[in-house]
């Protein structure tokens, strides 16, 4: 049994629900308990996914195949032993896998240094019981731009949300649009028109984020700035269309913006998950 851990941005919970609910070969799904996990768990259960939950330091206790109740040996270490190489090679042909999801707070984005520190800290902690880790983040204003380089010597292999060109996506908007080039083309199309891009999570979370003290400057200088006149709704088919439409309409009315519709893509989300899940060698 191999263990794939995912450290993820709370803004990408809908994408995670999508890929996890489609994976019928999951042997075990564990969600790390924290203040961000309740909404994520509710969405999973609506898709007939019923994960186990535990605080991060208790996750090894839930993982199968541990050598004793408090310690698990990832299969990457077992495979380094000559006598077990053939056994591990056979195991790789199996689809059984345990996935551990650690969803981090949206509010981390208000301080990029804290965001970087928390992502790195959680990766190091999860590496002890993981065979590989999928970093479900973009570079996020370059806060995580050197993560792949900084952690290149980590014994646990890291996988990333990468587009067809092998580039880590810029952020959640780039992911939703299908990659960095698609994002750049879209921004060029709306050049000169202040545009706020809305994924389902952005559309459902803007009130909460706007009420936080650290985000009030964003509301003042961007959302309430008359130069921002377009609300771009990115629809990739992730959530209920009626609810998404309602949230976007409320946002646009609140800030006196015109709604424009953009087609989203799930290709990077799905392929990145499959690469990490199956331990595929990433294109560098």
Fold of 2-171+267-278: Rossmann fold (3.40.50)
Q: Residue 96's pLDDT is what?
A: 76
Q: Residue 110's pLDDT is what?
A: 82
Span 106-122, mean pLDDT?
92
User: In this predicted model, what pLDDT tens digit does every residue of 9-68 receive, in sequence order?
Assistant: 999 999 999 999 999 888 899 999 998 899 999 999 999 999 999 999 999 999 964 433
Span 159-172, mean pLDDT?
95
Span 65-79, mean pLDDT?
47
Q: Residue 142's pLDDT is what?
A: 83
Average the pLDDT over each of 24-38, 58-72, 149-163, 202-216 and give the range with the smallest value. Answer: 58-72
The pLDDT-based confidence of 206 (bands split at 50, 70, 90) is confident
Span 237-265, mean pLDDT?
94
Q: Residue 282's pLDDT is what?
A: 45
pTM score, whole prediction: 0.85
Higher pLDDT: 67 or 257? It is 257
Higher pLDDT: 239 or 198? It is 198
Secondary structure of the chain in HEC code, one letter for each residue: CEEEEEEEEHHHHHHHHHHHHHCCCEEEEEEECCCCHHHHHHHHHHCCCCCEEECHHHHHHHCCCCCECCECCCHHHHCCCHHHHHHHHHHHCCCCEEEEEEEECHHHHHCHHHHHHHHHHHHHHHHCCCCEEEEECCCCCCCCCCHHHHCCCCCCCEEECECCCCCECCCHHHHHHCCHHHHHHHHHHCCCCEEEEECHHHHHHHHHHHHCHHHHHHHHHHHCCCCEEEEEEEECCCCCHHHHHHHHHHHHHHCCCEEEEEECCCHHHHHHHHHHHHCCCCCC
With 0-12 / 13-18 / 19 or more C-beta atoms within 10 angstroms meaning exposed / middle / buried, residue 54 is: middle
Query: What are the extents of the domains in the chain?
Result: 2-171+267-278, 180-263
Q: Residue 220's pLDDT is what?
A: 54
Span 256-270, mean pLDDT?
96
Q: Residue 67's pLDDT is what?
A: 37
The pLDDT-based confidence of 87 (bands split at 50, 70, 90) is very low
Q: Residue 91's pLDDT is what?
A: 44
């Amino acid at each position: 049994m191999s263990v794939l851990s995912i450290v993820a941005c709370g803004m990408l919970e809908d994408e995670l629900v999508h890929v996890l609910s489609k994976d019928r070969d999951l042997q075990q799904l564990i969600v790390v308990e924290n203040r961000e996990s309740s909404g994520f768990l509710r969405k999973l259960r609506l898709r007939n996914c019923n994960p186990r939950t535990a605080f991060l330091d208790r996750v090894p206790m839930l993982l199968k195949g541990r050598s004793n109740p408090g310690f698990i040996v990832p299969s990457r270490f077992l495979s380094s032993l000559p006598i077990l190489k053939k056994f591990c090679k056979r195991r790789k042909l199996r689809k059984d896998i345990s996935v551990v999801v650690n969803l981090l707070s949206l509010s981390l984005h208000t301080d990029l240094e804290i965001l970087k520190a928390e992502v790195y800290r959680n990766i190091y902690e999860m590496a002890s019981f993981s065979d590989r880790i999928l970093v479900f983040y973009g570079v996020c204003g370059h806060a995580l731009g050197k993560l792949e380089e900084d952690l290149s010597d980590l014994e646990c292999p890291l996988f990333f949300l990468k587009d067809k060109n092998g580039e880590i996506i810029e952020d959640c908007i780039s992911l939703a649009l299908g990659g960095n080039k698609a994002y750049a083309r879209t921004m060029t199309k709306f050049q000169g028109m202040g545009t706020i891009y809305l994924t389902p999570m952005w559309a459902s979370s803007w009130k909460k984020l706007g009420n936080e003290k650290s985000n009030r400057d964003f509301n003042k200088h961007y959302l309430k700035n008359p130069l921002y006149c377009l609300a771009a709704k990115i629809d990739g088919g992730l959530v209920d269309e009626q609810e998404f439409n309602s949230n976007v309409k409320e946002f646009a009315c609140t800030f006196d913006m015109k709604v424009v519709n953009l087609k989203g893509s799930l290709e990077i989300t799905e392929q990145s998950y499959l690469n990490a899940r199956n331990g595929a060698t990433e294109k560098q």
